[in-house]
Amino acid sequence: MAQGMQHKGLMRQSWRWFGPQDPVSLDHVRQAGAHEIVSALHHFKPGQVWTAEAVGERKAMIEQHNKDRTPLHWTIVESIPIPDDVRRLGKGAKESIQGWIESMQAVAAHDIKTICYNFMPVVDWCRTDIDWPLPTGATAMRFDADRFAAFDLFILERPNAAKDYDAAQLERAKALYATFSQADIDTLIVNIASALPGSTTDPLSIPAFRARLETYHHIDAPRLRQHLVEFLEAVTPVAESLGVTLTLHPDDPPRPLFGLPRIASTAADYQAIFDAVKSPANGMCFCTGSLGVRADNDLVAMVKQFAERIHFVHLRATLREADGSFFESDHLDGDVDMVGVVKALMDVNQTRSVEDRIPFRPDHGHRMLDDLNKTVTPGYAGIGRLKGLAELRGIMRAVEQLS
């Protein structure tokens, strides 16, 4: 291997950090081996405009922390929340779109040039269980299709929800709901309606949830996609002028929920978005966990198809079940061909400059070891992600040596 080419194909190692209240400290991130920070101003509510001063304070907090140690850099924002009215009104939500542009400008003023976002209506990423027991004694995040149906049908009591489920699932959901204690009901309300960590949607009570769903009664997939296109048509020219790349996160899970459309679930979905807005600022966050929930998504083929559009990657694996349930598996297990995906991404890196290599973060992780006895951020415990990062780093080094 030529001296100047060593490690060129490796992806940039990053880590999601939720700010000063995160149980995982910046020194923990250093010790895990990541050097780039993925963060956001989570104390700003969706729709609240970020200021350059607030971004600068967070950047200094990260980059000035223990400066005598391994340097850390805040390079990726995940996420600037897109206000709900943008999803419902598209270009009609002029004030909200302008506010989002101002937040982007505040980020770019501090030389942060990658912004991840999503366009999921009402609910962001969705799980029914945040501490599902594994045979090892660790716990994982899980989406249980029958528990979700029981919530939709008998707790939320969404009008006409029954038509979204077949007879067998309706019976299973009814029987399951009959076993629920009030604590079970309260837990589902928190997990589904009250916004998981990093969510960019509002936490909602059950009445507020029903009311928010009603505002989408006229929104189907084509209209929601058009509203996304209108948003991008407004923001990408500004992003280009700032040197910022926007990366759209896939739907999680990648299927309709609560009768709401999802428009970033498949290769065809992304192709339609890229065809409609050809700006180089219109990019993709390639999340293997979200996309991997669908058996019809060929992840390696998608890396090759969207090579020029992938500017941020979340690496995790899920294990699908026949009834539509899934859980977060070990990073190298489950239904994701992680070795094939990482190799394909490293091949993309070989076509780019070292500075433009793809950043990735180990996404989610099992709660394990000492983290079982600590307060942790659901899905973002330190030790499980450390394990995932080590495994992913091992794949990259092995692929590099064999190339």
Q: Which of the residues 249, 311, 331, 366 is marked catalytic?
A: 249
Grouping H, G, I as helix, E, B as strand and the rest as coil, residue 126 is: coil
Active site residue 22: no
End-to-end CA distance of the chain: 9
Strand 129-133: give its sheet, edge to edge.
129-133, 139-143, 326-328, 318-320
Q: Burial level of 382, CB count in 10 A (0-12/13-18/19+)?
A: buried
Number of neighbouring beta carbons within 10 Å of residue 346:
21
287 is catalytic: yes
380 is annotated as an active-site residue: yes
357, amino acid identity? R
363 flagged as catalytic: yes
Determine which one of 251, 363, 366, 371 is catalytic. 363
Q: Which position among 129, 269, 287, 371 bears the catalytic label?
A: 287
What's the CA gap between 381 and 375, in Å, rounded?
9
3-state helix, strand, coil in the chain (%, to 5): 45, 15, 40
Q: Which of 146, 252, 270, 314 is catalytic?
A: 314
Is the distance from CB of 126 to CB of 250 less than 8 angstroms? no
**b/e 314-331 (16+ beta carbons within 10 angstroms → b):** bbbbbbbeeebbbbbbbb
Catalytic residues: 249, 287, 314, 363-364, 380
